[in-house]
Amino acid sequence: MDALQFDALAARARRLAAPGTRRVLGIAGAPGAGKSTLAARLVDRLDGCAALVPMDGFHLARAELDRLGRAGRKGAPDTFDAAGYAALLARLRAPEPGVTVYAPAFDRALDEPVAGSLPVPPDVPLVVTEGNYLLLDDPAWRPVHALLDEVWFLDLDDRHRVPRLVRRHVRHGKDPADAERWVRGSDEANARLVAPGRDRADLVVPMS
C-alpha cells in the first residue's frame, strides 16, 4: 500500500472518529490480506482517537477446541466465540461515562486468547476491529456486521497473499512444510468462506 492510499484511508477513518459519538470500523478480508497491519497503522495515525480490538481475541482456548474436536480447524468460523465478540461490540458502541472496557487479545507466542488485555477508554470516539468473518453471511456472525458502522474489505491477490501467509506461520514456529499444508488446507478453506463478503463491504481496498 502506497502512502497516498494509506493517507486516504486514514482520512476516511478520521471522519468516523467524531468527538462525542462512538463508532466502530471493521476491517475484513481473507487470512493474510493485511488486516492486522492496516488496523494497527490506522490506530497509530489517529493518535489517541481510536482503539484497536481484533476479532482474534475471541478464539476459543486450545483446551476447548480439543474438547470439541476442532483443534485441527483452528481459525474456522466455529472456532471463535462469535456471540461473545458481538456482545463486546455492542458494549463498545454504547460506552458508559468513566468506564474503561477491557477486550481480549490473542497472544501468538502462547497461541491462546488472553482476557482483559486491551483497554478501550470511554472517551475514544472510534474502535477499529479486524478479522476474517466480519462480513460472513452466517447466523452466528450476522450480528457482528450489524454492529459495525462501516466495513472495509481488503482485497489481495492470492499470488501474494498465500506466500505471505506461509511466511507468517513459519515466523510463528511452524515448520515450512507444515505451514504450507496448513495454509493450503485450513486457511484457504476459510478464505473461500470470506470471499463473498467482498460484495457486502462499504469499501473494497486493493492491497499489494
What's the total number of domains in the chain? 1
Sheet with strand 203-206: strands edge to edge: 50-52, 126-131, 23-29, 150-155, 203-206
pLDDT at residue 176, rounded to an integer: 92
Query: How many helices and strands (H and E) does the chain possess?
Result: 8, 7
pLDDT at residue 1, rounded to an integer: 87
Q: What is the CATH number of the domain that holds 202?
A: 3.40.50.300
Task: Judge whether residue 203 has pLDDT over 90.
Answer: yes
Task: Judge whether residue 91 has pLDDT over 90.
Answer: yes
- Cα torsion for 79, 83, 85, 88, to the nearest 10°? -160
Q: Indicate the pTM of the whole model.
A: 0.94
Phi, psi (degrees; rounded to nearest 5) at 2? -85, 170
Task: Judge whether residue 20 has pLDDT over 90.
Answer: no
Nearest to 103 by CA among 124, 90, 123, 88: 88
pLDDT digits (tens, 9 = 90+) for 158-194: 999 999 989 988 988 889 999 999 888 889 999 999 9
pLDDT at residue 205, rounded to an integer: 98
Q: What's the chain's average pLDDT?
A: 95
The mean pLDDT of 192-203, rounded to a whole number, is 97
Range of the domain at 107: 3-206
Render 139-200 in DSSP notation, one character per residue: TTTHHHHHT-SEEEEEE--HHHHHHHHHHHHHHTT--HHHHHHHIIIIIHHHHHHHGGGGGG
pLDDT digits (tens, 9 = 90+) for 102-134: 999 999 889 899 999 999 999 999 999 999 999
Task: Judge whether residue 61 has pLDDT over 90.
Answer: yes
pLDDT at residue 183, rounded to an integer: 87
